[in-house]
A and B are shown apart, each in its own frame.
Chain A
Amino acid sequence: MKGEAYTLLQETRQELGASVILIANEAGQALLYEGIEPPQTMDLLAALGAAGLSALQEIITASFKGWGRNAHQGDQILMLEVDPGIILILARAPFIFLVILTDKTRLGLARLLLRRLANQYPWERLLTTAQRHELPLRKDKSMSETRKQLFRDLWAR
């Protein structure tokens, strides 16, 4: 079963000419990973640095805690530009689909293929029974809080 998922990942990565593609859970742990590790990939991750990686972790978590959306509402797509490439993340709770692109002209295609990948396979199967039990995801209750915070002090007077 995992084999089929892996093949999908591999095909998508090749179609994109991307260096890495992975699926992680909301804690940011990789559940499935596919990719060669050419020097560029290492450069990209190094460019992110420790601060970048922890910020990445934070944003992934945040995107599931009210910023993110579930499958019914659509996807959240984040783009991190790091020389010499782009990290594209599609957040669809409870997963993230991440791809590292070195060719920026493929961004449109990458959005499309990541979405297709997300739809193509019942990824919940990768979760343990206990994790699956918590689906569907709890709805964020603090929406009005987020709103208050975001627009704090924005308006004149």
Chain B
Amino acid sequence: MRIAWDRRELLLKVVYYGPPRAGKTTNLEQLQQMIAPEHRSDLISLNTYGDRTLFFDLLQVSLSQVGGLTPRVSVYTVPGQPRYRRVREIVLRGADGVIYVADSAPERLGENVRLWHQMHQQLRRMHQEVPILIQVNKRDLPNALPTSSITRALDPHGRYPVVEAQAKHGIGVKESFMQILMMILTGETV
């Protein structure tokens, strides 16, 4: 969280983290469509062939003024593929809040858990302690695991708020975004 005094702006960074193909980029694509153009930038994506995120996606969003400052949010996704571990750490640096996007497909449970631990390890190494929201995505899959089996594997003590989503269909996308910002700015979860 930084303040640009001259412009009276509060600069925030939100990061979507999670396993490969969980739907992080899809969240940003949906947000871009849902947010009024005068409140956002274009979506910047650095992709490989086949739409896999290579470095990050970035969308900038301006909220309305509170407490005399205008919050400007830089929203990033990390690449989920194993070989980009180092890139994930760089993108995560300086985050004010993280949305962890988990995949509901049963065969992805192991990856969900692996990246969850990797994220915590990276946050610890950088001395960052930030609000985290778990988004359980792809609820539309016919063989989706129950949400509770996924969250129990990630967060057995139920410390983090959970939002269910179908990012591809625009469901749960707004809720997740608004919730993480409220967690950052107020410490409240509702």
Chain A contact residues, CB within 8 Å of chain B: 48, 51-52, 55, 58-59, 62, 65-70, 73-82, 108-109, 111-112, 115, 140, 143, 146-147, 149-156
Contact of A59 with B67 in the complex, beta carbons under 8 Å? yes
Q: Which secondary structure dominates where chain A touches chain B?
A: mixed
A68 to B185, CA, bound (A): 7
Chain B contact residues, CB within 8 Å of chain A: 1-3, 5, 8, 33-37, 39, 61, 63-69, 71, 126-129, 131, 174, 178, 181-182, 185-188, 190
Contact of B36 with A149 in the complex, beta carbons under 8 Å? no
Contact of B182 with A58 in the complex, beta carbons under 8 Å? no
A55 to B182, CA, bound (A): 22
A154 to B174, CA, bound (A): 11
CB < 8 Å: which of B1, B129, B174, B186 contacts A155?
B174
* A67 and B3 in contact, given A62-B68, A156-B36 (Cβ under 8 angstroms): no
CB < 8 Å: which of B5, B128, B174 contacts A80?
B5
CB < 8 Å: which of A59, A109, A143 contacts B188?
A143
Once A and B bind, how many residue pairs between them come within 8 Å at the CB atom? 97
Contact of B34 with A155 in the complex, beta carbons under 8 Å? yes
Contact of A68 with B5 in the complex, beta carbons under 8 Å? no
* A108 and B68 in contact, given A150-B181, A156-B35 (Cβ under 8 angstroms): no
A82 to B187, CA, bound (A): 27
> Which residues on the B side are within 8 Å of A62 (C-beta)?
66-69
In the complex, residue of chain A having the shortest beta-carbon distance to the beta carbon of B68: A58
* A156 and B181 in contact, given A81-B2, A143-B188 (Cβ under 8 angstroms): no
Contact of A150 with B66 in the complex, beta carbons under 8 Å? yes
Contact of B186 with A154 in the complex, beta carbons under 8 Å? no
The smallest C-beta distance from B94 to any residue of chain A, in angstroms, reads: 9
Contact of A149 with B3 in the complex, beta carbons under 8 Å? no
A66 to B66, CA, bound (A): 10
